[in-house]
């Protein structure tokens, strides 16, 4: 809740849409933007395409819409669409922290899933008020009450089912219930008493960053308070930019923007960190002093040093299209490490795969260059072909995971594993000639097989190894002596076997 002052005015809510993958978050946002009868649409304007590879949202997207309530009140809402895949948990958490209201989308077909609970945890941690949207009610055989009951079973207690969390059944496909959802957002926002002061210099959150070869570094930001205009300067951490090129969510150039609006500012001197705060300044000197202050702050190295020893590595250079994508990629790659094989990231960044990336890979470690939603420039491609450096690009993160897992299995060195197949106690010794010993024994478990390798155990301590050269039962040659039976055998070993010792037959496999 924002405290009012003399210059405070009501501001529209920033709304984040969260939930499990494929539960209809992007479809809902698409309908709100384009078809809702209670929405003032931008039908004459080209809207950015919502579709991403595999139909999976893999970036945070921000869009501004204007909703008119039943009583004629108009309210501007900014919607954030956050990725549902588990790899983008960090992005979802940032989406919840920047938002004033959260929509937790749950499919009436699938009910609550693991990612639903992860999204809910992010919402609760950020103390963001939220509404449950039960989607896909147009599907045959669904039960809204059953979904509400399932929500309760997962400690999500909606109105009418033991709690006070607002719930709206809807179909993002047909639009049924969407006006009611927008009205509910308006009501929740009113209860939060959201206000802002346009006379202040803008502050807000960086929700995405990008590097374009032609445009340079850009950042998508959400203004939480104040105003930013051309001619001002913006800082985030140790990154700064003069506000010369500023665009709205439609990609159109604008001269100024105020609270709750999503904007893109182009021309940063360094990539601002996704999830960091930003601030606008009226003069270059103010911005410069802020950057100096930031640089003077003691830096905390949050990078966890891996104290474990991983002898075998697959070295990679990782390039992503945006800052948030790169964060998700590195997080997923770290999860792939096993006891016998690790993926070692020797360099990472955003933007096109360049010749310098290939040169980095072409070191003593012969790394693989991995790109996510990135292009490969011609010099990089030519150098990679000449030096036999592998470049792999992906547009869906789990496809990268699958490929890396297969590569790790393929490159994991095989180790010899001994497996016991039988154990026998030595009861009698008949003769010994050099390394050949004739003896009698009884199989206690498993079996002793002709030609098998055996360990020689004395008082449960291995003292040597040998091989079963001959095997007899009832003075008849045998291929195998099974548990509970007695046998005679010739064991070839340099170790002298004694009565009371055990021989343990084993097989060796590569794993």
In the CATH scheme, what architecture does the domain 8-194 have? 3-Layer(aba) Sandwich (3.40)
pLDDT per position as a tens digit, 197-243: 999 999 999 888 888 878 889 998 999 999 999 999 999 999 999 99
- 45 has pLDDT over 50: no
- Specify the pLDDT at position 366: 83
Helix pair angle (25-34, 178-192), 10° resolution: 90
Q: What is the mean pLDDT of residues 51-55?
A: 43
pLDDT classification of 299: cutoffs 50, 70, 90: low
Q: For 313-411, CATH number?
A: 3.40.50.10050
The SS3 call for residue 445 is strand
- Specify the pLDDT at position 71: 82
Domain 198-296 has CATH 1.10.3720.10: no
pLDDT classification of 47: cutoffs 50, 70, 90: very low
Residue 239 pairs with which residues in a beta bridge?
A: 236
Q: For 416-510, CATH number?
A: 2.40.30.10
- Specify the pLDDT at position 502: 96
Length of the chain counted residue by residue: 511
Task: Find the distance separating the first CA and the last CA of the chain, reported in whole Å.
Answer: 59
- Specify the pLDDT at position 90: 60
Helix pair angle (89-98, 114-125), 10° resolution: 40
Share of the chain above pLDDT 70, in %: 87
* Average pLDDT taken over every residue of the chain: 85
- Specify the pLDDT at position 378: 93
Closest CA to 281 of 290, 292, 272, 293: 290
- Which of 31-35, 470-474, 482-486 shows the lowest per-residue confidence on average (mean pLDDT)? 31-35
The SS3 call for residue 31 is helix
- 160 has pLDDT over 60: yes
On the question of a common fold for 198-296 and 416-510, the answer reads yes
Q: What is the mean pLDDT of residues 424-441?
A: 94
Domain ranges, ordered by start, for the chain: 8-194, 198-296, 313-411, 416-510
Share of the chain above pLDDT 90, in %: 55
DSSP 87: G
Q: What is the mean pLDDT of residues 165-173?
A: 94
Which of residues 99 and 303 earns the better pLDDT score? 99
pLDDT classification of 391: cutoffs 50, 70, 90: very high
Query: Which of 17-26, 407-416, 447-456 is most confident?
Result: 447-456
For residue 151, how far is the Cα from the chain centroid? 25
- Specify the pLDDT at position 55: 43
Whole-angstrom Cα distance, residue 60 to residue 306? Answer: 30
Q: Which two tokens stand for residue 87?
A: 């790899």
Q: What is the mean pLDDT of residues 399-409?
A: 90
**DSSP for 432-479?**
EETTEEEEEEEEEEEEEETT-EEEEEETTEEEEEEEEEEEEETTEE-S
- Which of 18-22, 114-118, 285-289 shows the lowest per-residue confidence on average (mean pLDDT)? 18-22
- 147 has pLDDT over 90: yes
């Amino acid at each position: 809740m924002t405290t009012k002052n003399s210059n405070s005015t009501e501001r529209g809510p920033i709304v984040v849409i969260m939930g499990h993958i494929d539960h209809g978050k992007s479809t809902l946002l698409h309908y709100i933007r384009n078809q809702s009868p209670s929405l003032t649409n931008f039908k004459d304007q080209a809207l950015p395409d919502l579709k991403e590879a595999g139909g999976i949202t893999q970036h945070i997207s921000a869009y501004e819409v204007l909703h008119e309530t039943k009583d004629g009140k108009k309210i501007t809402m900014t919607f954030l669409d956050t990725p549902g895949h588990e790899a983008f948990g960090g992005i979802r958490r940032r989406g919840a922290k920047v938002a004033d209201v959260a929509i937790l989308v749950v499919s009436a077909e699938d009910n609550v899933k693991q990612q639903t609970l992860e999204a809910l945890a992010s919402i609760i941690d950020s103390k963001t008020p939220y509404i449950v949207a039960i989607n896909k009610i147009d599907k045959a055989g669904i039960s809204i009450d059953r979904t509400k009951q399932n929500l309760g079973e997962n400690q999500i207690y909606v109105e009418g089912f033991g709690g006070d969390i607002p719930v709206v059944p809807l179909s993002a496909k047909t639009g049924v219930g969407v006006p009611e959802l927008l009205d509910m957002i308006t009501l929740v926002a009113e209860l939060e008493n959201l206000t802002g002061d346009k006379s202040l210099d803008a502050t807000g959150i960086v929700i995405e960053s990008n590097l374009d070869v032609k445009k340079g570094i850009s950042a998508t930001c959400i203004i939480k308070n104040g105003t930013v205009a051309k001619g001002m300067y913006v800082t985030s951490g140790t990154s700064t930019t003069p506000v010369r090129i500023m665009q709205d969510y439609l990609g159109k150039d604008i001269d100024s923007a105020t609270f709750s609006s999503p904007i893109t500012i182009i021309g940063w001197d360094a990539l601002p960190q996704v999830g960091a705060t930003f601030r606008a300044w009226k003069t270059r000197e103010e911005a410069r002093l802020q950057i100096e202050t930031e640089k003077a702050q003691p830096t905390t190295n949050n990078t966890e040093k891996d104290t474990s020893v991983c002898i075998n590595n697959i070295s990679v250079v990782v390039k992503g299209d945006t800052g948030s994508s790169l964060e998700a990629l590195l997080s997923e790659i770290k999860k792939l490490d096993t006891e016998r094989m690790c993926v070692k990231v020797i360099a990472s960044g955003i933007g096109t795969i360049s010749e310098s990336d290939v040169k980095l890979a072409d070191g003593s470690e012969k790394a693989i260059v991995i790109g996510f939603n990135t292009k490969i420039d011609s010099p990089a491609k030519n150098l990679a072909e000449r030096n036999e450096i592998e470049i792999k690009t992906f547009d869906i993160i789990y496809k990268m995971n699958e490929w890396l897992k297969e590569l790790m299995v393929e490159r994991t060195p095989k180790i010899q594993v001994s497996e016991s197949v039988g154990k026998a106690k030595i009861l009698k010794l008949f003769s010994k000639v050099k390394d050949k010993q004739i003896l009698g024994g009884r199989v206690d478990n498993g079996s002793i097989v002709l030609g098998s390798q055996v360990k020689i155990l004395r008082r449960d301590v291995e003292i040597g190894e040998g091989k079963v050269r001959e095997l007899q039962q009832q003075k008849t040659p045998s291929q195998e002596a099974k548990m509970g039976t007695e046998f005679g055998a010739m064991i070839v070993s340099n170790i002298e076997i004694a009565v009371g010792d055990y021989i343990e037959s084993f097989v060796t496999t590569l794993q």
